[in-house]
Amino acid sequence: MAQFQRINLVPRKPFSNKVRKVTPLILLILLVALAVGLSTERKLIQERITSIDLEVATIDANRIQNSTILAMKQALATELEDLARRRQDLVELVDKIEEIGRGKHHYSLIMNAISDNLPPTVRCNRITINGWSGVIEGTAVDYRSLPLMVNQLKMESGFRDVQLQNVEKNQDTVGGQVGFTITFELAQDFISDHPQIQ
């Protein structure tokens, strides 16, 4: 049997030539892939940096806001302390004023009671109140109006022990006017009806 040798009529390029032609293409593909990968990595890092910058800015804004709130809180605390101190001063002032009012007669109530019972022919020259007792001094055109005035004051719930003390005919006046003095005490029910007098 004869051996046949096969002869390739198509010339083959050596493998090294193939590698030399393909290698630049492979390197180019690898470089492009590397460039794309680095670009993507750079973009991701840049997005992460932007995100971190936003978080830092938010934290700074919150820190500034918290500092402002803390300063406002401290200012409000100081203002509240000042208001509490002023309130206490006002309470003390009101207590002092009420203390003064408790020991004071409210003369307008007494004067109103006297003027309501004053006959038209009687004129008061002076009304004196000392403690819980008082004196009315004045003049009257007619003596008969004085007992009437004393009786009307006795009927007032605020007065007790109303008495006509002195009656003098005034020689200096025309028409026979008389000078008089009426004394009285303030009654307990007048004091209880008007507790501001106590």
**Which structural domain range is residue 125 located in?**
107-197
Looking at residue 197, what is its pLDDT?
46
Q: What is the tens place of the pLDDT at every residue in 91-117? A: 999 888 887 766 555 677 788 888 888
Are residues 94 and 127 part of one domain?
Answer: no
Are residues 67 and 20 part of one domain?
Answer: yes
Number of structural domains (the chain) is 2
Where is the domain boundary, 44, 67, 102?
102
Average of per-residue pLDDT across 183-193: 70
Is residue 114 within 8 Å of residue 124, measured between CB atoms?
Answer: yes
Length of the chain (residues): 198
Is residue 181 within 8 Å of residue 90, measured between CB atoms?
Answer: no
Are residues 91 and 115 part of one domain?
Answer: no
Are residues 190 and 136 part of one domain?
Answer: yes
Looking at residue 196, what is its pLDDT?
46
Average of per-residue pLDDT across 5-12: 68
Are residues 115 and 65 part of one domain?
Answer: no
Average of per-residue pLDDT across 130-151: 88
Where is the domain boundary, 102, 134, 159?
102
Looking at residue 10, what is its pLDDT?
66
Where is the domain boundary, 52, 76, 102?
102
Looking at residue 12, what is its pLDDT?
67
40 vs 100, higher pLDDT: 40
Average of per-residue pLDDT across 127-133: 84
47 vs 175, higher pLDDT: 47
Residue corresponding to tokens 């004053």: 118
Closest CA to 132 of 192, 77, 75, 66: 192
Are residues 115 and 71 part of one domain?
Answer: no
pLDDT surpassing 90 at residue 46: yes
